[in-house]
Amino acid sequence: MQQAEEHLDVLTKTGLKTGVSKPRGDVHRDGDYHRAVHVWIFAESTRELLLQRRASCKDSWPDLWDISSAGHISAGDSSLTSARRELEEELGITLPKDAFELIFVFLQECVINDGKYINNEYNDVYLVTTLDPIPLEAFALQPKKRGRRKGSKNKDDPKLTQMLGDATFHYARGDYDQACYSAKAVLREVIRLAPNLHESYHTLGLVYTSLQDYKRAMALYLIAAHLDAKESSLWKTIFTWSIEQGYVDQAGYCLLKAIKADPKDVTLRFHLARLYAELGHYQKAAAWYSNPSLRDWLKEHADTSEFNKLKWSYYQINKSPWSSLDEDEAFLSTADSAIRLLSKATRIVKDWKGLEYRAAFPLLKPAGANFYPPDMDKMEFELWKDSLEKHEQKEATGFFSVIKRHSEFILDSHLSDNKTGSHDLYIVPYSEEYKSLLAKASDLLHKAGDISDSPGLKRLLHSKADAFLSNDYYDSDIAWMELDSKLDVTIGPYETYEDKLFGYKATFEAYIGIRDDEATAQLKLFGDNLLLLEQNLPMDSAYKSEDVNAAPIRVIQLLYNAGDVKGPQTLAFNLPNDERIVKDRGSSMVMLKNVSEAK
C-alpha cells in the first residue's frame, strides 16, 4: 500500500497558520510558506558539530553534508515534538524535551531544481549539547525517515551502665574505633536484655556519625528517637538529615513527630511551608521544565568556586535562571546547567556509559512559563479553546490546571502515534500534575490541623489539605478569609503573574506570620469609619460615594515565606482571586509590617 504523502500547514508570509494544509510536494511546487525543525548536536568537550550526509535520492540538495537532523513539521504537529521525533527516526537517538534548546528561528527563501522546488521555510533551530561526541556505533541510521518487645532490664542495670559509660568515654576522647567496639558490645547486650534502652542506640549513632557512616547513624537515631519519642531534638536532627539526603517522606514523618514532642516550637511549623519551597522550584509551572535539575545542579556545585556560589545564591533569589530584577534577563545559560546521563538514549556501545547532555533552557523566559507547551502560541490555544464545551473552556482558562500535548505524551510513552482527537492540547488539573508533592503536603497539613489548638487554624489547614487533592479551593479560601488565629497562615496557589501569556494560571506560595493585634485593631478602626471619612472630605457631595466598604485587613510580622515569592518582596497581598468569593464575600488583605518597615 502506498504511503500517503505528508501534509504541511500552510503559513502566511509572516509565519502565521492559515488553517490550510497541503501535500508536501504541492507546498514546494507552489512556494507556500511552511515550517521545519533543525537539530544541531554539539559536543562540548571537543567543540564539534555532528553532520549528516543527505541521501542521493533527496529532491533537495542530494549527497550534501547537512544538519545533524532536520525535517518538516507535519500538519497539526508541534515544533518540539517534531524535533524529538526527527532525531529518533533519523539517528535512533531518543532524548527528553529538556535536551532541546530553541536558539533562533530563521526564514529560508530559495528556488532550486530549475524552479521546480521553491523553499519558503521557517526553521526552528534547536541545539542539543552533549559532553562528548556520540560514538558512530551508537547511531541507528534509518533508511528513512511489627510492635517493639520490652526487656526486663533498663538503663539502671549496673552492667549496661558500665558498658555504656565506656563507649561514651572512648567517643569523647575521639577514639572512635574503640568507642564503636564498646558501643556494639552494649548494643548486643541491649538487644538481649533491654531493647528499650535508647541511650545506647543514640551513642552508637554518634559514633557512626564521627566515622561518616551516615546511613547507619540515621538508622540508629531513628530507633533511639522511637524509644524516646518525647525528645524532640533527635527528631529535629533526623528531619534535617532527611532533607539533606532527599528523603522527603521520612522528613515529613520526623517533622510531625518533632511537633508532637514540642508543640510550642513555632519554628517547626515553618517546615510545613518548606515543602512549598520545594514545590515552588519543582512545580513545572514555576518557570521551565528543566528548572528542578538546574536547581539541584547549582546547589551541588555551589562550593566548587566563588563564582558558582554566586550563581547558586542568585538562583535562590529568583528561583529560575532569569533575573526578576532585570526584566527576566537570563543570568545563566545552558552551559551552566545540569549534566544528565541517559544510558539507553542510543544503541548500547561497549565501554561507553551512555549519552551525557546539558539540560537546556532558553535565554528568553517563556511567556507561558511551563503552564503550556513551550511551542504553543495564543492562536493555537484560542482555536482549541473555542472547540471545547463551556465547562471545559472554564477549566482550560482556570487557575488550577496546566495545558499539555497528546503528541508529547505519546512520544514520552513510546506509544503508537494515533491522535485521540482533532486537537493536540488537553487539560491536566494541578491535583494530578503535582500529585506526589501535593499528597505529601496534604498529609502534613491534616496532621498539623489535628494538633492545632486554634479552631480557625484547624479549619484552614484541614480544608486546604482537602483542596490540594480535590483541586477545589473554595472552602479553603473562605476558611482563610475567616481565619482568627495568632499564627497567620496563607498557603496555596494564588498569584498569576508567572503566566505572562494569558494571566490565567496560579503558582503556589506560602506566608507564615504572627498576627499583630494592635496594628490590626488600628486599621480596623480606620476601616469602620471609612464612610464617615468619605462624607467629611472637602469636596462637593456629588463626588462622594454613599457605599464605601473597606476590605478586612490583617497585619502580621512575617516569619517565613516560600514558593513563588522570588525577587522583590511584597508589602501586602489581597486575596482570594476566586471571582465567586469576591462577588459573594469580597476579599481580605494581609499586610507584612516588618517587611514594610524594612523597606
- Which pLDDT score, from 0 to 100, does residue 390 have? 93
Q: Which residue has the cell 503558582?
A: 507
The model's pLDDT over 312-338, given as tens digits with 9 standing for 90+, comes to 999 988 888 999 888 888 999 888 888
How does DSSP assign 39-106, residue by residue? EEEEETTTTEE--EEPPTT-SSSTT-EE-SEEEE-BTT--HHHHHHHHHHHHH-----GGG-EEEEEE
Judge if pTM exceeds 0.75.
no
The model's pLDDT over 74-98, given as tens digits with 9 standing for 90+, comes to 998 899 999 999 999 999 999 999 9
Whether residue 474 is predicted with pLDDT greater than 80 in this model: the reply is yes
Q: How confident is the model at residue 99 (pLDDT cuts 50, 70, 90)?
A: very high
If one compares 599 and 49, the residue with the highest pLDDT of the two is 49
> Which of 199-213, 272-286, 461-475 has the largest mean confidence?
461-475
Whether residue 281 is predicted with pLDDT greater than 50 in this model: the reply is no
What percent of the chain stands above pLDDT 90? 47
- Which pLDDT score, from 0 to 100, does residue 476 have? 96
The model's pLDDT over 454-470, given as tens digits with 9 standing for 90+, comes to 999 999 999 999 999 99
In a domain, 518, yes or no: yes
Query: Of the residues 87, 121, 138, which one is the last residue of a structural domain?
Result: 138
- Which pLDDT score, from 0 to 100, does residue 86 have? 93
Amino acid letter, residue 272:
L
In a domain, 459, yes or no: yes
The model's pLDDT over 209-231, given as tens digits with 9 standing for 90+, comes to 776 777 777 777 777 777 776 66
Query: Of the residues 110, 138, 166, which one is the last residue of a structural domain?
Result: 138
Mean pLDDT, the chain, integer: 83
- Is 533 within 8 Å of 570 (Cβ atoms)? no
Lowest mean pLDDT among 150-154, 241-245, 333-337, 488-492: 150-154
Count up the domains in the chain and report the number.
2
In a domain, 478, yes or no: yes
In a domain, 242, yes or no: no
In a domain, 169, yes or no: no
CATH code at position 94: 3.90.79.10
Query: Of the residues 111, 138, 165, which one is the last residue of a structural domain?
Result: 138
In a domain, 310, yes or no: no
Q: Which structural domain, as residue segments, surrounds residue 514?
A: 454-598
- Which pLDDT score, from 0 to 100, does residue 423 have? 80
- Which pLDDT score, from 0 to 100, does residue 552 have? 86
- Which pLDDT score, from 0 to 100, does residue 174 have? 57
Q: How confident is the model at residue 282 (pLDDT cuts 50, 70, 90)?
A: very low
Distance CA 151, CA 158 (A): 15
The model's pLDDT over 536-560, given as tens digits with 9 standing for 90+, comes to 788 887 777 777 666 789 999 999 9
CATH code at position 469: 3.30.540.30
Lowest mean pLDDT among 4-18, 110-124, 192-206, 550-564: 192-206
Distance CA 227, CA 116 (A): 84
- Is 4 within 8 Å of 49 (Cβ atoms)? no
The model's pLDDT over 129-187, given as tens digits with 9 standing for 90+, comes to 999 999 999 998 765 443 333 333 454 566 666 666 666 655 555 555 665 666 666 65
CB atoms within 10 A of CB 180: 19
In a domain, 303, yes or no: no
Sign of the torsion angle spanned by Cα atoms 19, 20, 24, 26: negative
In a domain, 389, yes or no: no
Distance CA 284, CA 432 (A): 12
Q: What is the 3-state secondary structure (H, E, C) of 124-144?
A: EEEEEEECCCCCHHHCCCCCC
